[in-house]
Amino acid sequence: MHPALAGDLSRLPELLQDACDFAAGELTGLAERPVAATGRAPGRAPLPAEGAGAEAALTRFAERWAPGFSGSAGPRYLGFVTGGATPASVAGDWLTSALDQNLSGAGGSWAGELERETVDWLRDLFGLGDAHGGAFVTGATMSNTVGLAIAREWIGERLGVDVSRQGAAALGPVDVYSGSPHSSITKAMSVLGIGRDRLRPVPLLPGGREAVDVGALEAALAGRDGRPAIVVANAGTVNTVDFDDLRAIAALKERYGFWLHVDAAFGAFAALSPEHAALVDGLDAADSVCVDLHKWLNVPYDAAVQFTRRPDLQVAVFHNASPYLGLPTGEPDFLHLTPENSRRLRALPAWFSLVAYGRAGHREIVERNVALARRLGAGIDALPGLRLLAPVRLNVVCFTLAGDPSQERVDALARAVAASGEAYVTPTVYGGVPGLRAAFSNWRTTQADTDRVLEALAAAAG
């Protein structure tokens, strides 16, 4: 054994303790460190010829790189939709690495059953029925990609084409209807050989809404003469957290042949709050559902779950054929369900957080985040220099400078907020107007944090 490895093996408990102490120090200071790194990263060093051991690696990381990491796990990072990591989920994540299970198949371990238990719990949490099977993937983009891959296979079933063998081209054009799809939907369409240009935008409801006009969707489907299609419904758009009427869309399935995929990346968490659960009414009727976990469940990157009512088609797409593995029946191993073969025990952080805080603890995070978004929205509304671009529907505040702001002025505002170290918000364009979004999805955020964000915005807006 290389001496550096042998040395580390003999001191393994101390090394883990050092890393733990370092992490604890970083997390203790998290709420007060600058929310975004603004300086320049160090130059890239050459590959070390001789190893220096884990202790030296920790020291070098702490000196060279850690100071430039963002406070994105902290309470005032409101860019994109960025969750933090609950204490229990961090512990679960560490154990995922330490125990290093390969979840491709059973492989002499109970870990796969733990993932199945966790998927069952998540299905319950979001109000989905037993007909939905699921698996962990790396994020909502991959969850959407898996959902649309199963949808593509379903179109093949309808048209008598075995897509998994004959390829997407054998299907001819596949149309995807959606109102305000996330950018990852067209990315998935590109990956799957459907093509980005096959997105068929559906008109939205009037009044600046981001939800589809279900009448217009029905008219589009009626014009297809029975040719099967894919509909992507959106349960929580990133700008204004608008929701398509899932129940009304699902009801159209009685008359028109389509696969209903719901991108509920963070909107699914509305199900945890009785006040907002009606927003995801009808979610269970979807053929496939995407939910991100590294956002509002507050587990570390990278984790999401995908659900579908057609695990048989999922296996048709993803089965890993091999001379000693027939087509699986019953509960297939995960390597037959997901793009990866070898995969980490991504479920363990979620399992830890659900055991530690339960439905009630996670409901509290969601409800507090929503209340704080409303608070920031009301604060922005009262400032002369800023105005809301849309009502605060759930956990995102979409706003801009007063008057008719240029992209340059909005970008400058975002930079000034980041440079203050106090808060982080990210740009968007809503209804043709450049603006900013503040998304609440971190378990640590308090009312005091929200008031600091408002002060930072007010100062930067002048």
Ligand X SMILES: *Cc1c(COP(=O)(O)O)cnc(C)c1O
Binding site for ligand X (CB under 6 A): 81, 139-141, 144, 182, 184, 236, 238, 263, 265-266, 292, 304
Can you tell me the distance from the alpha carbon of 214 to that of 229, in angstroms, rounded to the nearest whole number? 16
Can you tell me the distance from the alpha carbon of 391 to that of 370, in angstroms, rounded to the nearest whole number? 13
Residue 187 CB, nearest approach to ligand X (Å): 9
Residue 101 CB, nearest approach to ligand X (Å): 23
For residues 139 and 311, which CB has a smaller minimum distance to ligand X in the complex?
139
Can you tell me the distance from the alpha carbon of 96 to that of 100, in angstroms, rounded to the nearest whole number? 6
Residue 395 CB, nearest approach to ligand X (Å): 11
For residues 145 and 314, which CB has a smaller minimum distance to ligand X in the complex?
145
3-class secondary structure, 455: helix
In 26-180, DSSP assigns E strands to 133-137, 176-178
For residues 306 and 314, which CB has a smaller minimum distance to ligand X in the complex?
306
Ordered DSSP codes for 392-407: --SSEEEEEESSS--H
Residue 237 CB, nearest approach to ligand X (Å): 7
Ordered DSSP codes for 286-305: -SEEEEESSSTT---SS-EE
Nearest to 132 by CA among 306, 16, 276: 306
For residues 184 and 442, which CB has a smaller minimum distance to ligand X in the complex?
184
CA-based R_g, the chain, Å: 23
Identify the bridge partners of residue 95 per DSSP, sorted by sequence position. Answer: none
For residues 150 and 401, which CB has a smaller minimum distance to ligand X in the complex?
150
Residue with tokens 């909005």: 410
Residue 297 CB, nearest approach to ligand X (Å): 12
- Burial (CB count within 10 angstroms: exposed 0-12, middle 13-18, buried 19+), residue 400: buried
For residues 294 and 319, which CB has a smaller minimum distance to ligand X in the complex?
294
Residue 127 CB, nearest approach to ligand X (Å): 18
